[in-house]
Amino acid sequence: MVSVIIAPDSFKGTATAPEAARLLGEGVRSVIRDADITLAPMADGGEGTAATFGGETVTLPTTDAAGRLTEASYVFDAAGKTAYIDIAAASGLPAVADDPVPTSGDTYGTGVLIADAQTRGAERIVLCLGGSATVDAGTGILVALGANPHNEQGLGLRKGGGQLGELAGFDTAQLNIPAAAVEWVLLTDVTAPVTGPQGAAHVFGPQKGASPEEVALLDAALAHTCDILDVDPATPGYGAAGAVPVSIHWLSTMLHGSDSFVHVLPGAPVVADALGLPEAIPQADLVITGEGAFDDQSRTGKVVGTVAELVAGTPATLAVAAGRMDADPGDGVIAAELGDGGVDKQLFDAGARIAADYLRISTAQG
């Protein structure tokens, strides 16, 4: 019996990771009827990451990046006293895509989810930092937890990263200390610093609707915020999600005296560990991963690269399905570029082609 693990990322805009895994699996089974298939949909810290962890789904009213009332969900593992929260759930780009808010949007809605999780018993917040619509350095989260930004005159700042150039400090008289004092695990698929050409504003600001003038404004505001909060703007990963780690670092350090309660980690390996892939992959015959576009960045902290690293050195054969193959996946890797038709057919056909190629290779080798 052929043992198959299917661990794709989402195919953004076309299929979620669970949908992609299911369809690829159906394609494999159409060729290898008795295959032992394990579906392990992956994520790398972006939208959908929280759902890869086990626990109860909690849904509650909150606000989106523009401050409008919405609903958002997170996953709460009561036994582990851990909440898994996608920043995109409340503060994501799709909700404001028609009217972006790069300078005025904030992460307050995410802070509401964090506060709620703590009331349910969460002592650890795993915050998944992909897909945000904001560049507010996480100050909206601070406001939701009772730390309010003010200028030199003591007046409160309007929300959004565009105002942070006036930041003088935070009023913490109403701080929700239990929520602020949790352990923070920040999952990201980028190593971007806060400021500069590779920073939050310059790289991700345009994706969030920022004009060149707004990018310059936000970059300067983030630099000022780091100065006020005593955070090194060159710290790798601290530019993720509009520099959310900046506020979390300051908040936790203020309460604990160090940053020992803040962990910025690459998302894909953490998800892979949670799914048991490091133990399962060496026992598999075929491992299939995939994403919307395979390119030179796919092996640098993304899902495909993480799965490829786990397969390396094992007897398993690696296969990659992608909407576009813009780079060579390497020797011995089965590549399947999606073809024509609806996404369901494309992924099913890709799974079938991978299975046929695997049988051909294994027969030739053995």
Q: pLDDT tens, 62-91?
A: 999 999 999 999 999 999 999 999 999 999
Q: The domain spanning residue 357 has which CATH number?
A: 3.40.50.10350
Please indicate, yes or no, whether residues 198 and 228 belong to a single structural domain of this protein.
yes
Can you give the pLDDT at residue 296?
84
Percent of the chain with pLDDT over 90: 92
- Of 249, 268, 287, which residue is a domain's last? 268
Please indicate, yes or no, whether residues 140 and 61 belong to a single structural domain of this protein.
yes
Per-residue pLDDT tens over the stretch 118-177: 999 999 999 999 999 999 999 999 999 999 999 999 999 999 999 999 999 999 999 999
Please indicate, yes or no, whether residues 285 and 203 belong to a single structural domain of this protein.
no
What is the value of pTM for the model shown?
Answer: 0.90
Domain that holds residue 247: 50-268
d(CA 275, CA 292): 22
Can you give the pLDDT at residue 89?
97
Please indicate, yes or no, whether residues 112 and 226 belong to a single structural domain of this protein.
yes
Is 47 a residue whose pLDDT tops 60? yes
Please indicate, yes or no, whether residues 94 and 180 belong to a single structural domain of this protein.
yes
Contacts of 215 (CB under 8 A, 6+ apart): 201, 202, 205, 206
Please indicate, yes or no, whether residues 209 and 286 belong to a single structural domain of this protein.
no
Can you give the pLDDT at residue 362?
84
Name which of 272, 247, 276, 242 is nearest 259 in CA terms: 247
Please indicate, yes or no, whether residues 198 and 299 belong to a single structural domain of this protein.
no
308 is written with which tokens?
């490829």
Per-residue pLDDT tens over the stretch 31-45: 999 999 999 999 999
Please indicate, yes or no, whether residues 222 and 336 belong to a single structural domain of this protein.
no
Please indicate, yes or no, whether residues 35 and 126 belong to a single structural domain of this protein.
no
- Of 268, 293, 315, which residue is a domain's last? 268
Q: The domain spanning residue 155 has which CATH number?
A: 3.90.1510.10
Contacts of 1 (CB under 8 A, 6+ apart): 34, 35, 36
Can you give the pLDDT at residue 212?
98
d(CA 185, CA 297): 24
Secondary structure of residue 334 in the 3-state scheme: strand
Please indicate, yes or no, whether residues 262 and 279 belong to a single structural domain of this protein.
no
Is 366 a residue whose pLDDT tops 80? no
Per-residue pLDDT tens over the stretch 233-250: 999 999 999 999 999 999
Work out the mean pLDDT of the chain and round it to a whole number: 96
Please indicate, yes or no, whether residues 108 and 239 belong to a single structural domain of this protein.
yes
217 is written with which tokens?
């404004």
Question: At how many degrees (to 10) do helices 17-31 and 343-365 cross?
Answer: 50
| Contact yes or no for 59/73 (Cβ under 8 A) | yes
Is 193 a residue whose pLDDT tops 80? yes
Can you give the pLDDT at residue 364?
67
- Residue 88 Cα to chain centre, angstroms: 8
Can you give the pLDDT at residue 365?
63
135 is written with which tokens?
């560049």
Distances (CA, A) of 199 to 137, 168, 191, 221, 235: 12, 22, 9, 12, 10
Domain count, the chain: 2
- Of 217, 249, 268, which residue is a domain's last? 268
Please indicate, yes or no, whether residues 27 and 131 belong to a single structural domain of this protein.
no
Higher-pLDDT residue of 189, 8: 8
d(CA 115, CA 120): 9
Can you give the pLDDT at residue 298?
85
